[in-house]
Amino acid sequence: MSLLNKSARAPLLCYVTDRSLLAADSVEARKLLSQKIAAAAAAGVDWIQIREKDLSGREWSAVTREALHLAASRTAPSRVKVLVNDRLDIALATKAGGVHLGEKNLPPEEVRRLVKPLQREEDFLIGVSCHSLEAAKTAERGGADYLIFGPVFTTPSKAAYGAPQGLNRLAAVCHAVALPVLAIGGITLENASTCISAGASGIAAIRLFQDAPDLAAVVRTLQERSA
């Protein structure tokens, strides 16, 4: 059963991390990533998804634990959830707020089966990335808590998934499932409200949040324009 209210007025905002875009030097990139995570938590984003796929399990766990600490020290723990991309093992080991699955990862029903004995089912979010209407319906049937659909607009980070899906397909997915759907791919301050108008419950983005010189202002603007 979903822990989220699809009809909530304020849009869900998810910062997806990618330290490789911050600096070529690995040490500097890690330092900057910590600063971005702290800023995102303080600015009031809802979720911070740790997506650092090139890291070892130990390094990824360290980044996740630091993100959890930064989020808890800057806002109420119930406000910001730290999610782990792909790695259920890391999400559980670090006591993160949830896991975000790709279409080729474990199905959400299997993840829920593994989480249930740990008595974390009620507060552990399971999200799924979807690139088609059928995939969205399958994820919903499998017990996902939310979906991320895209790429809606053109974006380098999602080029591997082909041409942008567009607002019409986003709307079709949003209206076909009862779960909250977050739009991703090429999201900007200018087009975010069109995603909400199409039925999205929020947005997920890398550059929109990570490149912002004033992240708090970006969050305020997104909340105001989508109200």
Q: Is residue 1 part of a domain?
A: no
Q: Is residue 4 part of a domain?
A: no
Q: What is the mean pLDDT of residues 176-182?
A: 98
Q: Which residue has the tokens 């986003």?
A: 170
pLDDT bucket at 163, cuts 50 / 70 / 90 = confident
Q: Is residue 146 part of a domain?
A: yes
How high is the pLDDT of residue 74? 67
How high is the pLDDT of residue 116? 86
Collapse the DSSP code of 99 into the 3-class scheme (helix H, G, I; strand E, B; otherwise coil) and give the result: strand
- CATH label of the domain that carries residue 183: 3.20.20.70
- In the predicted model, is pLDDT for residue 84 greater than 80? yes
132 Cβ contact list (under 8 Å, min separation 6): none
Instruction: Quote the CA–CA distance of 32 and 168 in Å, as a whole number.
Output: 36
Instruction: Quote the CA–CA distance of 41 and 68 in Å, as a whole number.
Output: 10
Q: Is residue 142 part of a domain?
A: yes
- In the predicted model, is pLDDT for residue 161 greater than 70? no
Q: What residues does 205 pair with on adjacent strands?
A: 15
Answer yes or no: pTM beyond 0.85.
yes
Q: Is residue 108 part of a domain?
A: yes
Question: Rounded to an integer, what is the distance from CA 150 to the centroid of its chain?
Answer: 12
* Residue range(s) defining the domain that contains residue 220: 12-225
Q: Is residue 7 part of a domain?
A: no
182 Cβ contact list (under 8 Å, min separation 6): 12, 14, 146, 147, 148, 149, 200, 201, 202, 203, 204
Q: Is residue 23 part of a domain?
A: yes
Q: Is residue 195 part of a domain?
A: yes
Number of domains in the chain: 1
How high is the pLDDT of residue 120? 67
Q: Are strands 81-85 and 98-101 parallel, antiparallel or unpaired?
A: parallel
